[in-house]
Amino acid sequence: MHSEQQLPEGSVRTVDLAVIGSGPGGYEAALRAAKAGMRVCLIEKGALGGVCVNWGCIPTKALLQSAELFNFVKKAASYGLKVEGTEIDLAEAVKRSRSVAQKLSKGIAFMLRRVQVEVIQGEALFSGAHRLDIFREGMSVETLQADYIIVASGARSRQLPGLEPDGKYILTSREALALKRVPHSMIVLGGGAIGVELAWFYAMAGSAVTLVEMMPRLLPLEDEEVSEVLKRSFQKAGIAVFTGAKLEGVTVSGDQVNGLLVVEGAEPLPVTADCLLVAVGVTGNCDTLGLEQAGVESARGFVVTDSSCRTSVNHIFAIGDVRGGMLLAHKASAEAALAVDTIAGKEPWPIDESMIPRCVYADPSVASVGLSEREAEAQGYTLKIGRSMFAASGKANACGNLEGLVKLVFNAADNRLLGAHIVGHGAVELIGEIALARRIEVTAELLANTVHAHPTLSETIREAAENALLE
């Protein structure tokens, strides 16, 4: 970390690269640039690792692991195990998730120190195209002059009028990750990745969960077949799922959140819960950076960039959630490499979002890469579709996880893989093989003729490819 030694008044520190934000994009950019020989400063107003490490990907997955183990223990008798008196201790589960996050944050600090990246604690504000003023507790403490600047400031939960979070009854995902007790009931507004994951977690922990999604299906960006499997699984688990629905007239009274569920063609349904989690997307953290002082363009809550992550100002780049597009940590890391290599004068591989895997960590989990069946048809492809059900898998049967399937989408003209969609236990660990297959444009024949170990869940990928070849 940088020392608290104050520079003489009016002095300016000069660096090759300043990085704003230390999430997966920011710290990866700083590490890569430092290893390339640049003098790098990284500015972070909170804990190192950003939202992903501290309040997003990592603590969420730690909590989901607790819920998965708890759910397994509840079914222990079916595995020949006698377990009695189990309950989830939410405070201890949250404590563990915070410990995991803090460990990873400290690891990032160590890696940055090792390559001599200077970390400045504070908030960055552009005062010119190459200048950043650093503020701490509202006071300007330092000014940086940088040849290049990478904005990696992330995003925050989008707020809806009338549903402003209060931390007790109306929550964002951040508050939901730090509750000390399991609410008896919860409404989750938003059926995207965050809403689905937290709805599943609290349902497994014992809450009566109502999940409301305005679009016609859960995970509306995923393949329709996958969304339907997930919905049925959630309903089987006791989650009340309403799609094509709106939540209106929300009020807080008597320690309860009240509202009306409005579904087209049906009478409005009154709903009541201990709390409401609003998970309706995010907006980029670009409105407090003074981007206009540098001439950087933004639109619809995100920084505008080209395919190299370059903004409207030639030496300023934006990566990760603040740039928009797919809001994924691994995409931010890939963009960090792209931006730094561009700054270094290299010609890096462009990022093709159709090659980036997407994962949702409920159970069953969801993972996909490339085009859905509907997207491929819309692009004019004639298709071969291969499916393999986990219910037919020896490993899935041995483990007792029979829900879901692998669905592969191939171009019928040359049998090249266009997309893959998995819903089922372990889906997020299976997607790596298919992401590589998609990247190198593997055919159905190559996948079908690749020997997979038995018994494994990965055999289902081979069987789905074989199924496609039967068409």
| Residue numbers annotated as active site | 454
| Cβ burial 73-89 (10 Å sphere, 16+ → b, else e) | eeeeeeeeeeeeeeebe
The closest of 29, 32, 25 to 50, measured between CA atoms, is 25
What kind and span of H or E run contains 101? helix 90-114
Contact between 323 and 153 under an 8 Å Cβ cutoff? The reply is no
Residue 67 φ/ψ, nearest 5 degrees:
-65, -40
The closest of 381, 406, 382, 410 to 393, measured between CA atoms, is 406
Residue type, 389: M
What kind and span of H or E run contains 263? strand 256-263
Planar angle of CA 409, 383, 423, nearest 5 degrees: 25
Omega cis (within 30) before 364: yes
Omega cis (within 30) before 270: no
Residue type, 396: A
What kind and span of H or E run contains 50? helix 50-55
Residue owning tokens 């939901």: 176
**Which tokens is 378 given?**
């819309």
What's the Cα-to-Cα distance from 94 to each of 107, 179, 181, 408, rounded to whole Å?
20, 8, 10, 37
92 Cα distance to chain centroid: 24
35 Cα distance to chain centroid: 27
Q: What are the beta bridge partners of residue 261?
A: 247, 269
Residue owning tokens 């890469």: 369
Beta-strand (E) ranges in 376-428? 383-389, 405-411, 416-424
CA distance 391 to 293: 58
